[in-house]
């Protein structure tokens, strides 16, 4: 199997190509920034839905972070990172 070679630019491009998660609550805040002050009136159902979505997303992110901390390191014997000269 041939060696794998990648650089910082390729990694950056890969990460930037991931589409951002679009949460309803964040969209609502973007459309109506005055919601933070509590002055706006939005339907309770919409508020419950958006807060529930944000809480669930936060939980999924926390679970993913916990899983990542438990991963064993994998030696990359055939990879070279050009920025480090190897």
Range(s) of the domain holding residue 28: 22-71
Three-state DSSP at 72 gives coil
> Which DSSP letter does residue 17 get?
T
**52 within a domain of the structure (yes/no):** yes
Residue 15's pLDDT is 84
Q: Distance between CA 86 and CA 74 in Å, rounded? A: 17
Provide the β-strand partners of residue 81: 6
**67 within a domain of the structure (yes/no):** yes
**5 within a domain of the structure (yes/no):** no
pLDDT in tens, 33-66: 776 666 667 888 988 999 999 999 999 999 999 9
24-31 vs 44-69: helix axis angle to the nearest 10?
Answer: 130
User: How many structural domains comprise the chain?
Assistant: 1
Which class for 24: exposed (0-12), middle (13-18), buried (19 or more C-beta within 10 A)?
middle
**82 within a domain of the structure (yes/no):** no
What is the pTM (predicted TM-score) of this model?
0.60
**64 within a domain of the structure (yes/no):** yes
**53 within a domain of the structure (yes/no):** yes
**49 within a domain of the structure (yes/no):** yes
């Amino acid at each position: 199997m041939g060696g794998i070679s990648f650089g910082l630019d390729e990694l950056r491009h890969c990460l930037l190509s991931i589409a951002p998660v679009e949460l309803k609550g964040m969209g609502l805040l973007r459309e109506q920034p005055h919601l933070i002050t509590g002055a706006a009136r939005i339907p309770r159902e919409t508020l419950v839905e958006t807060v529930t979505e944000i809480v669930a997303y936060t939980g999924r992110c926390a679970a993913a972070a916990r899983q990542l901390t438990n991963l064993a390191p994998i030696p990359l014997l055939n990879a070279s990172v050009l920025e480090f000269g190897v």
